[in-house]
Copies of this chain bind each other. A is one copy, B any other.
Amino acid sequence: MRILTQKRFLLALVVIAAYMVCGLSFGSDVEVVDTMTVAEETAHDDDSGHGGPVLGILISLVVILLAAKLGGDIFERFQQPAVLGELVLGMLIGNLHLIGIDLFESFKHDLTLEVLAELGVIILLFEVGLESSVREMMKVGLASFMVAVFGVITPFFLGWGVGYVFLPDASIYVHIFIGATLTATSVGITARVLQDIGKIKSREAKIILGAAVIDDILGLVILAVVAGIITAVGSGHGDGVSSGMILWIIIKAVLFVVGAIVIGSIILPTYFNLAIRLKVKGVFLSFCLLVCFALAFIAGKVGLAPIVGAFAAGLILDEIHYTRFREKGERDIKHLIEPISVFLVPIFFVRMGMMVDLTTFGRVEILGFAAVLTLAAIVSKQACSLAIFDRKTNRIAIGLGMIPRGEVGLIFAGIGAKLILDGQPIVSASIYSAIVIMVIITTLVTPPALKASLLRGAKNAPAPS
């Protein structure tokens, strides 16, 4: 029986492979069918169907979805979160060029794939936000705030110290900047792990997610201050950063959060009561997506991460707003969003893995500093657990959940690479590489550590209320 299945499996693989190869070779068979090449070029110009830019995305999606599911499965079998499998298989695919296979290199520079990935993480945070409400977040508000503050201050000073000790020849601005790159948590990975292991509604999840929002606002302020100071020093006059400017950044961010809550309590009921009058199919899902995309857009415009907006959108959408849709037999938004999430979310994580350049780890001269920096990044976020006084909460898990650094750290590093002081960039190529390694490792260690901590916690501790 088992052998039979394997035989059929092999047969299936051979036929599929032959079919795909035929498809590929047909396409490249330019000599034989040269009018078709004309057609394809024209199709591209006229942006119409036959063989246009969509073909590149279709094959990327096939590779990515397959890698995501296979990677997820392999890692689940080893009791690891599926997201780690998506990252690792992405890393493998993204580095196949090192052994001469550069079939997938184009995926990395595909702007459309990048946008699909970003939409994926926006949908993920929207989905995660739907699992909670503003009221529930308010309950953990103080805890979240403390976690965010501890989780920003400690990495900042520890990073500064690491710079001071290990790069004694560099200026104080370099040290400060290294501290700044360690501050902001990238919550996508943590959210996904919490979802994978079914802990997204736990108290720990709420504290981490709330802290991530505040963390993002604090990160904005630090970026403005640090980059402002260095620009001012570099240009020789001291007005690079004004208190007015920083105040404005804070006001915008706070206005966004307050605005989102106002929309949730005052506008949304009317919004859905108007929407229900529309006589077309898909109105409910469309109007929920509208809230998500609009808030993600505005968050991006005020300088926050779009995922903060998507999370806020999920929070403010409450069953009470759309009871009339539910009475009409509409499925719950959580069920409606799930297929979109299954489609788009893996693109983000597989692509994140693909962007990892393994050759960075081959640069022996920077590995030492990278290791110290990574250690500082991981250890310093454990200060977050000190902000939790409630004994029922798994504080270790909160410290672990705050570990991942991502795009914000890389944005800081990128800005630092462009800031020139005394003829040299603040963030040199070596420091940049060390920061990249730090981002990769913090991303990869979080899923197994967080899963282990939360599942052990669930056994030993009393059940969360």
Q: Is the CB of B415 within 8 A of A38?
A: yes
Q: How many copies does the complex hold?
A: 2
Task: Check A296 for interface membership: any CB of B closer than 8 A.
Answer: yes
Q: What's the least CB distance linking A405 to chain B, in Å?
A: 11
Which residues of chain A (29-49) have a CB below 8 Å from chain B? 32-33, 35-36, 38-39, 42-43, 45-49
- In the complex, which residues of chain B have a beta carbon less than 8 angstroms from the beta carbon of A11? 266, 270
Q: Find chain B residues with CB under 8 A from A275 CB.
A: 69
A35 touches B228 (CB 8 A): yes
Binary contact readout A311-351 vs B (1 if CB under 8 angstroms, 0 otherwise): 00000000000000000000000001111111100100000
A248 to B118: give the CA distance in the assembly, Å: 41
Known: A223-B35, A228-B35. A51 touches B15 (CB 8 A): no
Given A68-B286, A294-B62, is A303 in contact with B51 using a C-beta cutoff of 8 Å? yes
Is A131 part of the contact surface with B, judged by Cβ < 8 Å? no
A461 within 8 A of B: no
Within 8 A of B (CB), among A258-314: 259, 262-263, 266-267, 270-271, 273-275, 277-283, 285-287, 289-290, 293-294, 296-298, 300-307
- Cβ of A234 within 8 Å of any chain B Cβ, yes or no, is no
Interface residue range, chain A = 35 or more
Known contacts A16-B263, A35-B227, A73-B279; decide if A55 and B306 are in contact (CB<8 Å). yes
Given known pairs A49-B306, A65-B290, A280-B82, the reply for A267 and B12 (CB within 8 Å) is yes
A159-208 at interface with B (beta carbon < 8 Å)? none
Tell me whether A370 is interfacial, beta carbon within 8 Å: no
CB-CB under 8 A for A280 and B15, given A111-B53, A305-B49: no
Residue-wise, chain A 207-246 has the 8 Å CB interface mask toward B (1 for contact) of 0000000000000100110011001000000000100010
Chain B residues positioned under 8 Å from A220 (CB to CB): 36
Determine the residue in chain B with the shortest Cβ distance to A121.
B49
* CA A282 to CA B61, docked complex, whole Å: 15
> Is B286 in contact with A15, judged by CB distance below 8 angstroms?
no
Known: A45-B414, A278-B73. A39 touches B273 (CB 8 A): no
Residues A36 and B305 in contact, CB atoms below 8 Å apart: no
Contacts of A5 in B (CB 8 A): 270, 273
Interface residue A22 (Cβ < 8 Å from any Cβ of B): yes
**A364 adjacent to chain B (CB < 8 Å):** no
Residues A297 and B62 in contact, CB atoms below 8 Å apart: yes
Q: Does residue A26 face the partner (Cβ distance < 8 Å to B)?
A: yes
| A54 on interface, CB distance cutoff 8 Å | yes
Bound-state CA distance A11–B268 (Å) is: 12
**A23 in the interface, Cβ–Cβ < 8 Å?**
yes
Are A26 and B70 touching (Cβ within 8 A)? Answer: no
The listed residue (B52, B65, B338) touching A289 by CB distance below 8 A is B65
Of B55, B85, B227, B241, the contact of A38 (CB 8 Å cutoff): B227
Look across to chain B and name the residue whose beta carbon is closest to the beta carbon of A309: B58
Q: B411 touching A50 by the CB < 8 A rule? A: yes
Q: How far is the CA of A249 from the CA of B339 in the complex (A)?
A: 37
Is the Cβ of B293 less than 8 Å from the Cβ of A46?
no
A-B contact pairs, 12 of them (CB 8 A): A15-B266, A36-B224, A39-B223, A43-B411, A43-B414, A58-B297, A58-B306, A59-B293, A69-B275, A73-B277, A73-B278, A76-B280
